[in-house]
C-alpha cells in the first residue's frame, strides 16, 4: 500500500510526503465519514488538494467521503488495526478534556513501573520526568501519525518514554506491528526496560549505545520518528539531533520529539540556528508538557520541540568517527556549591570530584556531623572549559543589487578588499584575485589573522563575501561597512558564526 501512496503523491505533485495521505486515511477509517472541509482541517491541506486526494482514493477503490469495504480492509491491514479501539482513538485525538482525564486515570497504572526507575545520573544530565509527562509525550506520536505501523527510536530513555508508548499502543491497537527501540549509555536503564518489556510483552528492543560513537549501520535510516531528551548543553543537543538525523528514514516529514532545558534567549537563538542549519522545521514548541522530579538544574521543567524533517537534512556533527569533545554539563561547566547545615553550621562542597556530587545525595545521607538533612546554599562557582570559547569569528556577507560594472572590475575589487582588511586593522600577508570569462571575479586577501574572500556574479548584481579572523582584536564590522558602502549594495545581510566553539 505504501507504494500506492507514494505513486499518488507523485501523480498529484504533492509537496507534502505520503505520510499526509496516511493521516487522511486514518481519519477516514476512524471517523467513518469525513467531509472535504473536515479532512482539510485534520491534514492541514487546502480544500482543493484534499478534494483531489479523495478522487485518487476513489480510483484505488478505497472510497471518497467514507471508506468502502476494500478501503477498510486495506487500511486495517496496512496499520494492523485488527482489534483497535476506534472510540478511544477518536477521543484521544479530538477531545482535549477526555485526554486530560484519561491521563489522570491511567497514570496510576504506570506509576508502579516508573517508581522502580534507577536514580538519575546527573553526570550524564539525567532527570526523570513525571509519569504524566511521559504519557503526554507518547501521545504526540498519535497526534502526528507516528504511532501505528511505525518504527520509533528513543535515543536515551531514562524517562521510560518507550514504556509509555507501548502502553498507549496496547490500549489502542494491541496487534500493531510498531517497533520501539531504546538506545542508551546507561545499562541500568536498558536492563530495567528490557525486563519490563518482557514481563508485559511490549514491542521494545534495547541496545547499548554511546552517542559519541557513530550510529551503528543497523539503525541508520531505519526510523519514522525519534524521541530524545538531550544533555543541557548546546553541543550535546547538536550531537543527539545529528544522530537522530542519521537514524531517521531519508524521506521528509519524519518527526523528532526533542526535549531541551529552558535557556536564555541568546542560547535559544543559538539552538534554533542549529536546527535551521540541520534542515529541521520547528512544527511547534510545547511549554506545558515536560515536568521533572527534583531537577533543580532544569527548574523542574523544559521545552519540547516538535521537529519535522525536510529534504535538506544535514547532521551538524558527521557520523564517520567518534566525537571527542565533552557534551555533558558537568564536563563543560564544572559547578561546585558550598552548603551549610542549618543545624550545626558545618559546611560542605557539593559537585564533581567531591564526596557528594549532588545536593540530593547530601540530603539523603545527611550532615556528617549531626545527620540533619536541611542545608543552606552559601556559595556557587562555575568553571567553563576552553571549548566554550570561539577559535574564530566569521561573517558571511550577502550583497544584492550592487554596482554591476564594479562587480566585473578585478582591480577595483582587489583595492576594496585590501582597504577593508586595513580598516579592520589586520596585517596583510598575500593577495590573489582572478577575473573569469565572460564575467565574475574571485579573490582572497590572506591576513595574518586569517582571510577575506569574495566571489561576484555581475549578471545577478550579487557578491558573496567572507570575513574571517582568529583574533578577537580585529574590527570586522569596519571591514563589512567599508565593503558594503563601496559596492553600493541595495540589500546587504550578514550572518555571524562562531567557529570552533
CATH of the domain at 40: 1.10.10.10
| Residue 149 Cα distances to 19, 67, 75, 114, angstroms | 12, 20, 11, 26
Please check whether residues 154 and 285 belong to one and the same domain.
yes
Question: Average pLDDT of the chain?
Answer: 88
The residue out of 46, 79, 112 marking a domain boundary is 79
Residue 477 covered by a domain: yes
Residue 329 pLDDT exceeds 70: yes
Identify which has the larger pLDDT, 363 or 332.
363
Residue 23 covered by a domain: yes
Residue 146 pLDDT exceeds 90: yes
Name the band, by pLDDT with cuts 50, 70 and 90, for residue 298: very low
Residues 128 and 221: their CA atoms lie apart, in Å, by: 28
Q: Which of 196, 169, 228 is nearest to 112 (CA)?
A: 196
Mean pLDDT of 325-345: 82
Determine which of 3-12, 212-221, 234-243, 480-489 has the lowest per-residue pLDDT on average: 3-12
Residue 318 covered by a domain: no
Q: Give the residue numbers spanning the domain of 438.
A: 392-499
C-alpha cell at 316: 551538524
C-alpha cell at 15: 509537496
Residue 84 covered by a domain: no
Please check whether residues 272 and 376 belong to one and the same domain.
no
Tell me how crowded residue 58 is: count the other CB atoms within 10 A of its CB: 14
Determine the length of the chain: 501
Residue 389 pLDDT exceeds 70: no
Residue 387 covered by a domain: no
The residue out of 51, 79, 107 marking a domain boundary is 79
Q: Directed axis angle between helix 265-278 and helix 234-247, to 10°?
A: 20
347-351 β-sheet, strand order:
347-351, 333-341, 375-384
Please check whether residues 116 and 75 belong to one and the same domain.
no
Please check whether residues 23 and 117 belong to one and the same domain.
no
Burial category of 263 from C-beta neighbours within 10 Å (exposed 0-12, middle 13-18, buried 19 and up): middle
Residue 296 pLDDT exceeds 50: no
Name the band, by pLDDT with cuts 50, 70 and 90, for residue 382: low
- What is residue 4's predicted lDDT score, i.e. its pLDDT? 87
C-alpha atoms less than 13 angstroms from C-alpha of 68 in its C-beta half-sphere: 11
Residues 464 and 445: their CA atoms lie apart, in Å, by: 14
Give how many domains the chain has, as a whole number.
Answer: 4
Residue 386 covered by a domain: no
- What is residue 330's predicted lDDT score, i.e. its pLDDT? 72
Catalytic positions are 450, 455, 470
Please check whether residues 61 and 93 belong to one and the same domain.
no
Residue 27 covered by a domain: yes
DSSP secondary structure string, 411-434?
HHHHHHHHHHHHHTT--EEEEEEE
Determine which of 213-217, 228-232, 278-282, 291-295 has the lowest per-residue pLDDT on average: 291-295
Give the model confidence (pLDDT) of 69-85 as tens digits.
998 999 999 888 888 99
C-alpha atoms less than 13 angstroms from C-alpha of 34 in its C-beta half-sphere: 25
Name the band, by pLDDT with cuts 50, 70 and 90, for residue 501: low
Please check whether residues 235 and 96 belong to one and the same domain.
yes
pTM for the structure as a whole = 0.75
Residue 369 is given by DSSP the state T
Please check whether residues 143 and 267 belong to one and the same domain.
yes
Please check whether residues 257 and 110 belong to one and the same domain.
yes
Please check whether residues 182 and 222 belong to one and the same domain.
yes
Please check whether residues 105 and 74 belong to one and the same domain.
no
Please check whether residues 398 and 366 belong to one and the same domain.
no
Please check whether residues 354 and 253 belong to one and the same domain.
no
What percentage of the chain reaches a pLDDT higher than 70? 96
Name the band, by pLDDT with cuts 50, 70 and 90, for residue 3: confident
Residue 329 covered by a domain: no
The residue out of 79, 113, 138 marking a domain boundary is 79
55 Cβ partners below 8 Å, 6+ apart? 64
Amino acid at each position: 500500500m505504501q507504494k500506492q501512496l507514494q505513486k499518488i503523491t507523485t501523480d498529484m505533485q504533492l509537496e507534502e510526503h505520503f505520510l499526509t495521505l496516511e493521516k487522511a486515511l486514518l481519519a477516514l477509517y476512524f471517523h467513518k465519514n469525513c467531509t472535504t472541509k473536515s479532512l482539510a482541517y485534520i491534514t492541514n491541506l487546502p480544500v482543493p488538494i484534499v478534494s483531489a486526494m479523495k478522487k485518487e482514493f476513489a480510483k484505488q477503490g478505497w472510497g471518497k467521503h467514507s471508506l468502502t469495504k476494500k478501503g477498510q480492509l486495506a487500511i486495517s491491514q496496512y496499520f494492523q488495526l485488527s482489534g483497535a479501539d476506534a472510540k478511544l482513538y477518536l477521543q484521544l485525538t479530538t477531545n482535549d478534556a477526555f485526554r486530560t482525564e484519561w491521563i489522570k486515570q491511567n497514570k496510576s497504572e504506570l506509576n508502579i513501573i516508573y517508581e522502580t526507575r534507577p536514580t538519575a545520573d546527573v553526570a550524564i544530565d539525567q532527570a526523570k520526568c513525571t509519569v504524566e509527562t511521559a504519557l503526554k509525550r507518547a501521545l504526540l506520536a498519535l497526534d502526528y501519525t507516528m504511532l501505528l505501523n511505525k518504527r520509533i527510536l528513543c535515543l536515551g530513555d531514562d524517562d521510560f518514554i518507550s514504556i509509555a508508548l507501548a502502553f498507549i499502543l496496547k490500549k489502542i491497537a494491541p496487534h500493531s506491528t510498531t517497533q520501539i527501540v531504546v538506545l542508551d549509555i546507561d545499562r541500568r536503564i536498558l536492563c530495567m526496560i528490557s525486563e519490563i518489556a518482557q514481563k508485559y510483552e511490549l514491542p521494545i528492543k534495547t541496545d547499548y549505545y554511546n552517542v559519541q560513537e557513530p550510529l551503528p549501520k543497523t539503525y541508520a535510516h531505519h526510523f519514522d520518528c525519534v524521541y530524545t531528551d538531550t544533555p543541557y548543553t548546546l553541543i550535546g543537543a547538536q550531537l543527539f539531533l545529528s544522530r537522530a538525523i542519521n537514524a531517521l528514514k531519508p524521506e521528509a516529514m519524519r518527526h523528532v520529539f526533542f526535549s531541551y532545558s529552558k535557556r536564555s534567549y541568546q542560547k535559544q537563538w543559538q539552538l534554533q540556528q542549529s536546527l535551521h542549519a540541520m534542515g529541521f522545521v520547528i512544527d511547534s514548541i510545547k511549554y506545558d508538557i515536560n515536568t521533572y522530579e527534583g531537577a533543580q538544574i532544569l527548574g523542574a521543567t523544559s521545552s519540547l520541540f516538535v521537529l519535522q524533517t525536510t529534504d535538506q537534512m544535514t547532521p551538524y556533527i558527521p557520523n564517520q568517527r567518534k566525537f571527542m569533545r565533552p557534551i555533558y554539563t558537568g564536563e563543560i561547566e564544572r559547578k561546585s556549591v558550598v552548603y551549610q547545615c542549618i543545624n550545626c553550621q558545618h559546611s560542605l562542597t557539593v559537585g564533581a570530584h567531591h564526596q557528594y556530587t549532588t545536593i540530593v545525595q547530601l540530603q539523603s545521607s545527611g550532615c556528617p556531623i549531626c545527620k540533619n538533612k536541611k542545608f543552606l546554599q552559601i556559595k556557587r562557582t562555575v568553571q567553563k572549559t576552553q571549548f566554550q570559547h570561539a577559535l574564530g569569528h566569521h561573517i558571511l556577507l550577502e550583497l544584492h543589487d550592487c554596482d554591476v560594472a564594479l562587480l566585473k572590475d578585478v582591480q577595483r575589487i582587489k583595492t576594496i578588499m585590501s582597504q577593508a582588511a586595513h580598516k579592520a586593522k589586520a596585517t596583510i600577508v598575500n593577495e590573489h584575485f582572478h577575473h573569469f570569462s565572460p564575467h565574475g571575479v574571485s579573490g582572497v586577501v590572506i591576513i595574518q589573522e586569517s582571510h577575506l574572500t569574495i566571489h561576484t556574479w555581475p549578471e545577478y548584481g550579487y557578491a558573496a563575501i567572507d570575513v574571517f579572523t582568529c583574533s578577537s582584536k580585529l574590527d570586522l564590522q569596519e571591514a563589512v561597512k567599508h565593503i558594503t558602502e563601496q559596492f553600493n549594495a541595495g540589500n546587504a545581510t550578514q550572518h555571524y558564526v562562531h567557529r570552533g566553539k
